[in-house]
């Protein structure tokens, strides 16, 4: 009797084992459906972001807020700084916050990547997506005062820090925030071999 139980448990363990990397076990139709959903979500979000209405009601106010709040923060912890519209004025230079600096594109990519995956609990799913977007927005906000400090103390490092370090950090954070959505959904994607 125990030999029979051992063989049954061995078969169960073999059945539950997965072979090979997850990306090789994803069902092709699901992958194509997710890719199509990503392209559609990205297209819709990019059309919205590139519209004049979005610039007037989101980009411009966000740029002004980033410049103003960065000036207030730097004045509190460092030296007096000011802001005029989307320009942050530090003791040594001026930094203009343009649409590519406000973090909206990273959030658009993140939301499109989240939208391509189906969610089981919609309210929980959307709440986590919004919190991830806010985390990216906060990290992007931290980028501006840090770049102002780099510009003041080490001007030669401004471009590498701005282009390479902060962009990589934002992309890494975006992927890190997206992975829980993707790994939470791995069981439906994986094609188990039930032979």
pLDDT score at 22: 54
* pLDDT at res. 195: 37
Listed in sequence order, the residues at least 6 apart from 29 whose beta carbon sits closer than 8 Å to its beta carbon are none
What's the pLDDT tens digit per position in 123-166? 777 888 899 999 999 999 999 999 999 999 999 999 999 999 99
What's the pLDDT at 189?
46
* Lookup: tokens for 35: 């890719």
Residue pair 123/161 in contact by the 8 Å Cβ criterion: no
Kindly report the average pLDDT of the chain as a whole number: 84
What tens digit of pLDDT does each residue of 2-18 get? Answer: 555 555 455 444 444 55
Provide the whole-model pTM: 0.79
């Amino acid at each position: 009797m125990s030999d029979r139980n051992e063989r049954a448990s061995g078969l169960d363990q073999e059945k539950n084992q997965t072979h090979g990397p997850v990306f090789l076990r994803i069902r092709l139709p699901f992958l194509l459906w997710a890719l199509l959903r990503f392209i559609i979500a990205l297209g819709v979000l990019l059309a919205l972001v590139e519209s004049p209405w979005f610039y007037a009601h989101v980009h411009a106010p966000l740029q002004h807020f980033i410049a103003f709040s960065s000036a207030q923060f730097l004045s509190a912890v460092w030296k007096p700084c000011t802001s005029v519209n989307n320009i942050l004025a530090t003791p040594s230079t001026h930094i203009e916050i343009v649409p590519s600096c406000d973090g909206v594109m990273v959030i658009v990519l993140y939301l499109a990547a989240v939208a391509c995956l189906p969610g089981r609990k919609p309210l929980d799913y959307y709440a986590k997506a919004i919190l991830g977007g806010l985390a990216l927005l906060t990290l992007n906000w931290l980028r501006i005062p840090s770049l102002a400090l780099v510009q003041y103390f080490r001007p030669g490092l401004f471009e590498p820090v701005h282009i390479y370090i902060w962009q990589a950090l934002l992309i890494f954070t975006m992927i890190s925030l997206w992975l829980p959505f993707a790994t939470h959904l791995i069981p439906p994607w994986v094609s188990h071999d039930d032979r």
